[in-house]
Structure 1
Amino acid sequence: MARLSLPSSRRARWAVPVVAAVALAGVGPLATTLTASAQGSLPPRTAAQLLVDVQRARVQALSGTVVETSALGLPAVPGVGGRGGASFSSLVSGSHTMRLWYAGPDQVRLALLGQLGESDLVRTGSDVWAWSSDTNTATHWTAPVAGSSGPTGPDAAAAPVTPQQAADAALKAIDPSTRVTTDPTAVVAGRSAYELVLTPRDSRSTVGSVRIAVDGTTHIPTRVQVFARGATAPAFEVGFTSFSTSTPPASTFAFTPPPGATVKQGSLTAPHDVTGSRAQPSGATPSVVGTGWTTVVVADVGSMTGGQTNQSSPGSLAGLLKSLPAVSGAWGSGHLLHGALFSAVLTDDGRVAVGAVPPSMLYAALAHG
């Protein structure tokens, strides 16, 4: 085996909780020197070489169609999820199609295409726009040009990840608890690609494997699939169905709110108190129990919801909890969310435990804390 230290300059933002659990699994990257099968015109590459290729990949421009599919086994929440939704919050379930255009860090556009509408995140220079056709609302932010990573704001935080971002987070999970292998060359968006397979060595993890397709020419990840243990179809998948490195026209990144739209001005500045210091979130720092793929995070849910846990409206956290199975034990009582790739317990005393593990490991973590 060959130890490999990868740069950590790029940070991933995951659209679903399970991918966050995968990101938490990684410390001390380790890659095997297994050789990828060279089929077609692709030269052979070891797994370690492919990981470095991904981290060093640079592309000046790209555009394409991205399809994201989530089958996480989550309960239905009114107004959230479903096939063909045009809101970024709908990405937690169903299948969704997006268009992505990129011509540098200050020229980015992402469009989520719904059956009857569209949501867009657009960045041109220092101007950042979020647009929803459902509400006919456009929100504008002004961001620094240098060193920015793209659209930000409330909707951007819930925006879908690109295959590149998804792969970056999955690669953090490569440590001694992970077996890294390569499959024969795949074809994604009509292009030859290598495929890396990350498999947890710990059989207690609900994640069976993470498969990352790496474009053979650009070394950009073009598809990421996450499989539940024992499953033959991915529970989460995001990948290109069309892919081009041609520079999009400048008009692609021009945005003007349509007539009659409600226009809001967002703020990228964190709240300040009267002393001028940045406001800090309330609640204790989340605790981490376990390591690798079976890591469990325990946190105070009240601090994450602004103390709104007592609301009982259908769309509130408390309303959602009432629809989940009640559970109890030496750790206390609460409600269980058991998905295909992860589990979560929200306790009656205001704690949440989440991880890519079976419920029994969440109960043990709650008792531990």
Structure 2
Amino acid sequence: MSVFRSRPALRWLVPSAAAVVIIGGGAAAGTIVASADSPLPARSAAQLLVDVQNAKVDGFSGTVVETADLGLPAIAGAVGNAAPSGDLTRLLGGSNTARVWYAGEGQARLALVGTDGETDMIRNGNDVWLWRSAEHSATHLSVPAGTPDKKAVPNNMPLTPQEAADQALAAITPTTKVDTTGAAKVAGRDAYELVLSPKDTTSLVGQVRLAIDAEKHIPLRVDVYAKNATNPAVRVAFQQISFTTPDAQEFKFNPPPNTKVTEASPKQLQQEHAKALQEQQQKKPALAASPTVIGKGWTSIVSLKLPASSAASGKKDDSAQMQAALNILPKVSGSWGSGHLLSGSLFSALITDDGRVFVGAVTPAALEAAATK
């Protein structure tokens, strides 16, 4: 009996078979090799980057665990606790565990269980199912033949170690030092550890470490360390993995009894996704102008301007709640004015009393310098 039929689970995930890496000038110049006592043949950082770029697997299954400890004050914890349990976007703190099955293009599945329910997302050929246990509902659609797994369903959530690695590798520029620490052991498998480090000292990110499977060349673990930290602030890792192609039965879904089934087309699903995004945007504070980005790479800062008042829009309660939340944060001031500071291990946010907001993976001093300009 299929585990999927007896224990439906949560959220769509399609692990990439290979990372597409574009390396900026000089990024992979380092040639530090694996330690001499390693059981693995020596590989330079440049060789490991090529390995990841050319990696390809036909199928695998495993357990992915995501953990985060961003060192945020109680206000951030309260915001994070308001999010649904089991939502992979909840990386302010805590842990998420997912089961992953992948059998090549057209067959992929992820299962994540939260305390308030389960959701299943599965791609099996032309059939895509989304099931939400809390709502006792399932959505089914047929996608055109040849549609890539990742385009079958809109998705902008944090993903597997492979896709977390893709994001880190895509950020490689001449501002990044690329090395290797030698051998590692992840989920019982031998791996090389590739290390990406910002050269700019104003970045709060100390290192991003990618443990790359020595045989299959896909990332098994991604750790993000704050500067001078000995433990990762964010970890996305396989706790267990098998490169045996999963049985086809794992990708079959039968709606449980009393489930409301809705037939949809890819266009309808995209429209629903767009509507959900629009509703989400409407719940956010209105901005007086579009956000701008100051700087680039590891030390880029997002700057935006909040409206002078939300009273005219009838959102007095929201405004009061926002002010109450801000009052929990430390008060700071300088030549740029005064405001409140949210400081974590990996990022800082400065909210000025005149409605300006500066956010980045940089020190508070860097944010204050940006606010002065």
Instruction: Please give the range of the TM-score, normalised by the shorter of the 2 chains.
Output: 0.7 to 0.9
The gaps in structure 2 that reach 5 residues or longer are 1-17, 276-285
Displacement, 1:125? 3.3
Q: Could you tell me how far apart the structure 1 residues matched to 2:20 and 2:64 are? A: 20
Q: Could you tell me how far apart the structure 1 residues matched to 2:314 and 2:235 are? A: 31
TM-score using structure 1 length: 0.76
Report the counterpart of residue 267 of structure 1 in structure 2: 269
SS in 2 for 1:88: coil
Contact 2:106-2:148 within 8 A present in 1 as well: no
Q: Could you tell me how far apart the structure 2 residues matched to 1:140 and 1:291 are? A: 41
The gaps in structure 1 that reach 5 residues or longer are 1-8, 13-25, 273-280
Is 2:340 aligned against 1:362?
A: no
SS in 1 for 2:77: coil
Displacement, 1:330? 4.6
Q: 1:198 to 1:361 in 2, by over 3 A?
A: same
Deviations 1:85-114 (A, max 9, x none): 433344432122111111123222111133
Deviations 1:228-267 (A, max 9, x none): 1111111000100111111112222223432334556552
Report the counterpart of residue 27 of structure 2 in structure 1: 30
Aligned pair count reads 331
Question: What does 1:225-244 align with in structure 2 at a 5 Å threshold?
Answer: 225-244=223-242
Moved more, 122-131 or 65-74: 122-131
Comparing both structures, which one devotes a greater share of its residues to helix? 2
Q: Could you tell me how far apart the structure 2 residues matched to 1:115 and 1:271 are? A: 27
Report the counterpart of residue 294 of structure 1 in structure 2: 299
Displacement, 1:50? 0.2
Task: Supply the AA of the counterpart residue of 1:267.
Answer: L
The structure 2 residue matched to 1:343, chosen from 348, 358, 362, is 348
Task: Supply the AA of the counterpart residue of 1:268.
Answer: Q
Task: Supply the AA of the counterpart residue of 1:223.
Answer: R
SS in 2 for 1:210: strand
Is 2:217 aligned against 1:216?
A: no
Is 2:243 aligned against 1:245?
A: yes
Report the counterpart of residue 60 of structure 2 in structure 1: 62
Q: Could you tell me how far apart the structure 2 residues matched to 1:330 and 1:319 are? A: 25
Contact 2:123-2:149 within 8 A present in 1 as well: no
Is 2:98 aligned against 1:77?
A: no
Question: What does 1:80-91 align with in structure 2 at a 5 Å threshold?
Answer: 80=81, 85-91=85-91
Q: 1:297 to 1:27 in 2, by over 3 A?
A: farther
Q: Could you tell me how far apart the structure 1 residues matched to 2:185 and 2:257 are? A: 43
SS in 2 for 1:76: helix
SS in 2 for 1:202: coil
Displacement, 1:79? 6.5
Q: 1:110 to 1:322 in 2, by over 3 A?
A: farther
Q: 1:122 to 1:150 in 2, by over 3 A?
A: farther
Q: 1:128 to 1:310 in 2, by over 3 A?
A: farther
Displacement, 1:322? 5.4
Identity, in percent, stands at: 48
Task: Supply the AA of the counterpart residue of 1:95.
Answer: S
Task: Supply the AA of the counterpart residue of 1:286.
Answer: P
SS in 2 for 1:77: helix
SS in 2 for 1:112: strand
Deviations 1:317-359 (A, max 9, x none): 6775454444454545554321111112345555432211012
Question: What does 1:186-201 align with in structure 2 at a 5 Å threshold?
Answer: 186-201=184-199
Q: 1:359 to 1:127 in 2, by over 3 A?
A: farther
Is 2:169 aligned against 1:164?
A: no
Report the counterpart of residue 49 of structure 2 in structure 1: 51
Question: What does 1:111-190 align with in structure 2 at a 5 Å threshold?
Answer: 111-114=111-114, 117-140=117-140, 143-144=143-144, 145-150=146-151, 152-153=153-154, 156-157=155-156, 159-190=157-188
Task: Supply the AA of the counterpart residue of 1:243.
Answer: I
Contact 1:344-1:354 within 8 A present in 2 as well: yes
